[in-house]
Amino acid sequence: MLFNSFEFILVFLPVVLLGYYLLKRTAPEAAPVLWLVAASLFFYSWWRVEYLPLLLYSILGNYSLGLYLGREALRPKWRKLVLAAGIVINLGLLGYYKYANFFIETLNALAGTRWDGLTILLPLAISFFTFQQIAYLVDSYQGKTRHYGFLHYCLFVSFFPQLIAGPIVHHRDMMPQFMRNRRQPLQLDNISIGLVIFTVGLAKKVLIADNLALFATPVFAKADAGGTLTLVEAWQGALAYSLQLYFDFSGYCDMAVGAARCFGIVLPINFNSPYRSRNIIEFWRRWHITLSTFLRDYLYIALGGNRLGPVRRYANLMLTMLLGGLWHGAGWNFAIWGGLHGIFLVINHGWRGLTSGIPAMPAWIHRIGGLLGMLLTLVCVVFAWVFFRAESLAGAVAMLEGMVGRNGTTLPAKYLSRWSEFGPWLSQKGVNFQDLETLQSLSPLWNMLALWVFVCSAPNIYNLLAHKQPVLEEVQRSRFALPLTPLTGFFCGLLLVAGLLSLSRVSEFLYFQF
C-alpha cells in the first residue's frame, strides 16, 4: 500500500487511527499495541503476502538473539560469537535477496562463466528492517538495551509509517514512546501536526516530484538507449532528477513522520533541506540522516573511525560510503555513486584539515564562501546523482558527456528568433537551434532553477513547526512559525485535496527499491 493512494489515505489510516484510539480508551493496555502490529503486518502484506513470513522470522529470530545477548551470565567470547552469528545471518539474508544476482552477474562478466541468475523477489523493506535489527543486536551485546516485551519489539520493527522506506529508527528512540504511550489520551494536537506534515509530504510527492519525473525520465531514457545528449538537455534532465529525488524522498519522509505523529509517535528527522548544505560533510548530515547515523555508528566507528590516523580514517570513510552506495542498490552504478561521495568527503575533510589554522575571515567573505560552497556542493551532488539514476554505466557516461558539453549545445528553435540579437550571436558561436523531443522549451528549466532557489532558501516544514516538536531532534526554528489556526487548516485542506486529486497518477516512491 502506498502512502499516496486512496486506500491508505481514505481507508487504512483513518480506520487504524480510529481503532487505535478506541482501543486506548476501552481495551486492556496491550490491545492498541496489538492493533498497531496487526495493522502494520497487514500494511506490509498488501503488496505480497509471501514476504510476511520472512519479516516474522526476522523479528522472532532477532528478538530471541537480543534477549540471549542481554544475559549477564554469558562468557564474553561466546557473546561475541553469538553477536557475529546474528549479524552474519541478517546480512546473509540481505545479501541473498538483494545481492545474489549482482554477484552472479559480476562473476559471469569477470570469469566468463554462464551461471544463471536466481529467481528471487526482493522482499520489501528488507534493507531497512535488517539495519534496525542489527543495531538492536549490537546494542544488546553492549548492554545498552533494556528488556523489551515481544509485542513492543514487533511494533518497533514493523510500525507501518516507517517500515517500508524509513526513517531507520533506533530502539532507543522508539521503545520508550511505545511504552509510555499506553494510557495517553487522544491528543488532537498530535493529529493536527501529523496531518499538516503528512499533507505537505503528499503535496511534495504528487504535485512536485511526479511532475519533475516528466522531465527527468525521457532524458535518462535517451542516455540509457545510447542517445547523444547536448549540454542544456542533459543538465535539465540531471537537475530535474535531483529535484525529483529530493521532493520524492523528503515527501515520503514527511508522510511517514506525519502518519506516525497522528498516533502520538515522534519519528527522527531524516531529511533536513540537504541542498542548502555548504559542503558535502554537511550534506550527509542533512540527507537520509538516519542512514548516515547508522553507517557512522555501526560501520565507520566499528572500522576504527578516525581513531587510527588519517590514512585509516579516509580508508574507513571510503569503505563506508562504498557500502552505503551498495546498500541503495545492487549495481556498480550505486557503488560508483557511493565511491564518488566517499572521495568528496575525503577531499572535504582534507580541506578542513588544511584550512583549520587560517584565522577567521570577515563576515562578507564568509558569506560569499558559503554561497560558493553551496554551489560547488550542488554541482558535485548533481553529478553523482547521474550514476544513481542511470540504468547503466554507459547511460551515466552519456549523461556526463552531455553535461560537460562534449556534444555541443542545442536550444529550442523558437529562441533563435525570440532572442532578437542574442539568438543569432549564439548561433554564430556554435549553439545549435533545433527542437529536440526532450527539450522543446526552456520554461521548465527556468522553473526548475526557481525551485532550486526555493529549496535552498525556504524553511522546511520542520522549521516551520519547530515550536511543536515535530521530530525527535531539535530543529532550527524559522522566523515564521506556522500556527494551527482555522486559516491554516483551510489552506492545508486545499493542499490535501490537490494532492488527492493527483492520486490517480499513482507512482511508486523511488526509495522503495532500496
Partner 1 sequence: MQASSKSFLLSILFTAGLSCLTIIALNAYVDPWRFFHDSGLAHWDSDGRQQNPGIIRQRAFNVAVIGTSMTQNFRPEELQQLFGGQAAVLSISAGTGREQALTAGLALQQQTLDTLVWGVHPGSFILPAQEVKGNAFPGYLYDNHWLNDIYYLFNISNIEKALKDWRGALRSLSARQDVTGQSWQNLQYWGDKYQYGCPDIMALQMSRRGLPAVSDDFRVADEQIVSNVSENLLATVQAHPGTQFKLFFPPFSELYWALLAERQPLRYAAYRRLMREVVIQLTPEPNVELFDFTALQGVVDNLQNYKDLIHFSPQISSQLLRMMQAGEFRVTDAQLGTVGHFPHLMKGAAINMAVSECLQAPAEG
Using CA atoms, how far apart are residues 79 and 261, in angstroms rounded to an integer?
A: 37
Q: Which is nearer to partner 1, 322 or 503 (CB)?
A: 503
501 lies in the binding site for partner 1 (CB under 8 A): yes
Choosing from 318, 500, 512, 513, the residue that interacts with partner 1 (CB under 8 A) is 500
One-character DSSP codes across 362-421: PHHHHHHHHHHHHHHHHHHHHHHHHHHH-SSHHHHHHHHHHHTTTT--EE-THHHHHSTT
Cα-Cα end-to-end distance for the chain: 16
Contact flags string 175-194 toward partner 1, x per CB under 8 A: ------------xxx-xx--
Does residue 432 belong to the site contacting partner 1 (CB under 8 A)?
Answer: no
How far is residue 84 CA from its own chain's centroid?
A: 28
Element (H, E) at 253: helix 231-262
d(CA 498, CA 152): 37
Measured from the CB of residue 196, what is the shortest distance to partner 1 in angstroms? 8
Stretch that binds partner 1, among 173-181, 422-430, 458-466, 499-507 (CB under 8 A): 499-507
505 binds partner 1 (CB under 8 A): yes
Q: CB of residue 435 vs partner 1: minimum separation in angstroms?
A: 10
| Residue 487 interacting with partner 1 (CB under 8 A) | yes
Tell me the closest approach of the beta carbon of residue 508 to partner 1, in angstroms. 11
The catalytically annotated residue of 170, 328, 341, 349 is 328
Q: Which stretch binds partner 1 (CB under 8 A): 89-97, 149-157, 346-354, 486-494?
A: 486-494
Q: Interface with partner 1 includes 394 (CB under 8 A)?
A: no
The SS3 call for residue 439 is strand
Residue range at the interface with partner 1 (CB under 8 A); choices 162-170, 248-256, 321-329, 497-505: 497-505
Q: Of the candidates 26, 119, 428, 504, which one interacts with partner 1 according to CB under 8 A?
A: 504
Which of these segments, 15-23, 290-298, 331-339, 487-495, binds partner 1 (CB under 8 A)? 487-495
Pick the closest to residue 449 from 219, 213, 204, 243 (CA basis): 243
How far is residue 336's CA from residue 325's CA, in Å, rounded to a whole number? 7
Cell 533494556 belongs to residue: 146
Residues 6+ apart with CB under 8 A from 474: 466
Q: Is 84 in the site for partner 1 (CB under 8 A)?
A: no
Q: Kindly state the smallest distance separating residue 469's Cβ from partner 1, in Å.
A: 12
Of 221, 192, 199, 141, whose CA–CA distance to 438 is shortest? 221
The DSSP call for residue 440 is: S
CA 32-134-310 angle, to 5 degrees, is 135
Is residue 513 within the footprint of partner 1 (CB under 8 A)? no
Footprint on residues 225-254 left by partner 1 (CB under 8 A): 226
Contact between 503 and partner 1 per CB under 8 A: yes
Within the chain, what is the greatest distance between any pair of CA atoms? 84
Q: Which is nearer to partner 1, 37 or 461 (CB)?
A: 461
Q: Give DSSP secondary structure letters for 195-210.
A: HHHHHHHHIIIIIIIH
Q: How far is the CB of 218 from partner 1 (least distance, A)?
A: 13
Verify binding: residue 398, partner 1, rule CB under 8 A: no
53 lines the binding site for partner 1 (CB under 8 A): no
349 belongs to the catalytic site: no
Residue 347 Cβ, how far from partner 1 at the closest point, in Å? 37
- How far is the C-alpha of 75 from the C-alpha of 65, rounded, in Å? 15
Catalytic residues: 328
Interaction site with partner 1 (CB under 8 A)? 6, 10, 187-189, 191-192, 195, 226, 483-490, 492-494, 496-497, 500-507
